[in-house]
Amino acid sequence: MPNLLIIEDDAAFCQMLQKFLTRHGYEVETSFTAPDAKEKFGKTDFDLILTDLRLPDYDGIQLLTDIKEVSPKTQVIVMTGYAEVGTAVNAMKKGAFDYISKPFTPDEIVMILDNALKVEVSMAQTKPIEGEGSKKDPKQNGSKPASSEGRTNTIVKGVSEASKKLEDYIKLVAPTDMSVLITGESGTGKEVTAKAIHDNSRRKDFNFIAVDCGAIPKELATSEFFGHIKGSFTGAVEDKIGNFEAANKGTLFLDEVGNLSYENQIQLLRALQERKIKRVGSTKEIDVDVRIITATNEDLTEAVEKGTFREDLFHRLNEFSIQIPSLEERFEDLMLFAENFLNKANASLDKNVDGFSSEVWEAFQQYHWPGNLRELQNVVKRAVLLTTGDEVQMEALPREVLQPQEKTTTIENFSKSEFEKDRIIKALKKTNFNKSKAAKLLQVTRKTLYNKINHYNLDL
């Protein structure tokens, strides 16, 4: 019987998980605090540890490091909120097997735990990505987490004009050392774009370190960025390397950079200007050669005007800017993205779903995807998990996709139907009113397009 430790400060949720997983053949212990958890995994070799990344008394990433130091062979799955995917991916770089976003279904957590038990942990897999030029062994002793393919940062080459423009910008700026500010709605793939820039640069053989600035408590940010020496503050039980040193000669990606406190902004600016850092508690200066890529889904120029973001730091980060288009703006690529996410879901869930039914495609095209690519990926992965046949059917889709709410905007009474009508008109204008080409652009049949034109009484 596999033994499992759950680390979760929400006692009710933790106990519910314990009961459920006990019924599924796991021997389960629980901890509501990090100190209690450290005592338990210090005494017992657990097969699996399921831990929340947000703990009130301890840094979740540091706890992961503590677990791997004590028990390198233990598989760790991290639980994270919807908006903290960047931090979860960073946890995987530090040795976590996988992450699962809350809320999740019981079937999803059982699937991930079962997959983790099937994979033998190699030492290459347990080493954090830290230090100059350190890299994971891609072979991992011939073994690879079943779900790791679902995390590969690859750009899907879209056919839309917006996607082609994005690809051109990446190719243009990647070979330079310019700082890049990536903007766009939540879920559009800002980290994937940052990784693509790194992979096409001269720094590609060195580390790409991703940091979610929104998930770092203000008091821990300095230590996260610059590291600390043992005894420099309460809880500093050993020397720790910071993100700048870990990314030396490589790329440091700061997601949601607008969330940094004013004090942390000053420290970041100084490090970028001097290209030197000091660990907390040390007087020794360390030279660092790091390319900075940042991302935000808020308007930093507005934050500068309000005085909440330093103007000098903004200009240093914004040597080149890239606006990531929303999924609506590259709607022609919907099929490509969905197929790509289907392949990833098949790999991570050990399934073999061939595709989507025509009704599902129609539902995908009718939905406006407010969560962009992240929402599409989550919907596809959930659907693949629930699918028992060859194709994803309508019953595998969540309610919001099956019954989309009326899309409201700042324009009064602007509904989903108005949005669809506007999209049809734009497609027709773009194709010089060639209905066959417009139908292809909208990814519907010519007959469907004619029906919609008649339904909306469009005078064309």
433 contacts 424 by C-beta, under 8 angstroms: no
CATH class belonging to 416-455: mainly alpha
Given CA atoms 7, 12, 18, 21 in this order, what sign does their dihedral have?
A: negative
Tokens of 344: 């990833």
Q: Does residue 138 surpass a pLDDT of 70?
A: no
Q: Which of 147, 140, 130 is nearest to 90 (CA)?
A: 130
What pLDDT score does 415 carry?
Answer: 56
Q: What is the DSSP letter of 235?
A: T
What percentage of the chain carries pLDDT values higher than 70?
A: 85
pLDDT tens across 194-207, in order?
A: 999 999 999 999 99
Q: Which of 89, 88, 96 is nearest to 67 (CA)?
A: 96
Residue 243 region by backbone torsions, left for phi larger than 0, else alpha for psi between -120 and 50, else beta: alpha
Tokens of 142: 């011939």
Q: Which fold, 161-323?
A: Rossmann fold (3.40.50)
Q: Which range (28-37, 95-104, 178-187, 333-342) has the least confidence?
A: 95-104
Average the pLDDT over 368-396 and give the result: 93
What pLDDT score does 154 carry?
Answer: 56
Report DSSP letters for 313-353, one per residue. Answer: HHHHH-SEEEEPPPTGGGGGGHHHHHHHHHHHHHHHHT---
What pLDDT score does 199 carry?
Answer: 94
More confident residue, 85 or 131: 85
Which residue matches tokens 């004009």? 161
Average the pLDDT over 132-153 and give the result: 36
- Secondary structure (3-state) at 211: strand
Max Cα distance, the chain (Å): 75
More confident residue, 54 or 5: 5
291 forms beta bridges with: 251
34 contacts 55 by C-beta, under 8 angstroms: yes
pLDDT tens across 301-332, in order?
A: 999 999 999 999 999 999 999 999 999 888 88
What pLDDT score does 158 carry?
Answer: 82
- Secondary structure (3-state) at 253: strand
How far apart CA 165 and CA 286 sit, in angstroms, is: 39
More confident residue, 62 or 93: 62
Q: Which range (123-137, 222-236, 387-401) has the least confidence?
A: 123-137
Q: Which fold, 328-402?
A: Helicase, Ruva Protein; domain 3 (1.10.8)
How far apart CA 89 and CA 269 sit, in angstroms, is: 26
What percentage of the chain carries pLDDT values higher than 90?
A: 43
How far apart CA 37 and CA 30 sit, in angstroms, is: 8
Percent composition of the chain: helix, strand, coil (DSSP 3-state, to 5)? 50, 15, 35
More confident residue, 251 or 446: 251
58 contacts 83 by C-beta, under 8 angstroms: no
Number of residues that make up the chain: 460
Burial (Cβ within 10 Å: 0-12, 13-18, ≥19) of residue 410: exposed
What pLDDT band is residue 128 in, cutting at 50, 70 and 90? Answer: very low
- Looking only at the bridges linking them, the beta strands covering 251-255 and 291-296 are parallel
Q: Does residue 185 surpass a pLDDT of 80?
A: yes
76 contacts 67 by C-beta, under 8 angstroms: yes
What pLDDT score does 267 carry?
Answer: 93
Which helix (DSSP H) or strand (DSSP E) does residue 161 occupy? helix 161-173
pLDDT tens across 214-236, in order?
A: 888 888 888 889 988 887 777 76
Burial (Cβ within 10 Å: 0-12, 13-18, ≥19) of residue 200: middle
Q: Which range (80-94, 130-144, 165-179, 181-195) has the least confidence?
A: 130-144
Tell me the whole-structure pTM to 2 decimals. 0.59
Q: Which of 77, 37, 33, 88 is nearest to 55 (CA)?
A: 33
How far apart CA 20 and CA 109 sit, in angstroms, is: 10
Which residue matches tokens 């064309």? 460
What pLDDT score does 85 carry?
Answer: 54
What pLDDT score does 278 carry?
Answer: 92
Mean of per-residue pLDDT scores for the chain: 83
What pLDDT band is residue 111 in, cutting at 50, 70 and 90? Answer: confident
Domain ranges of the chain: 3-128, 161-323, 328-402, 416-455
- φ/ψ of 321, rounded to 5, equals -115, 145
Q: Does residue 412 surpass a pLDDT of 60?
A: no
Q: Does residue 137 surpass a pLDDT of 90?
A: no
316 forms beta bridges with: none
What pLDDT score does 76 carry?
Answer: 92
Q: Which range (156-165, 254-263, 319-328, 394-403) has the least confidence?
A: 156-165
How far apart CA 181 and CA 173 sit, in angstroms, is: 11
Fold agreement (3-128, 161-323)? yes
CATH of domain 3-128: 3.40.50.2300
- Looking only at the bridges linking them, the beta strands covering 54-55 and 58-59 are antiparallel
Highest mean pLDDT among 306-310, 423-427, 449-453: 306-310
What pLDDT band is residue 126 in, cutting at 50, 70 and 90? Answer: very low
pLDDT tens across 150-179, in order?
A: 333 456 778 888 898 999 999 999 999 999
Tokens of 22: 């006990």
Average the pLDDT over 391-413 and give the result: 71
- Looking only at the bridges linking them, the beta strands covering 320-323 and 208-212 are unpaired
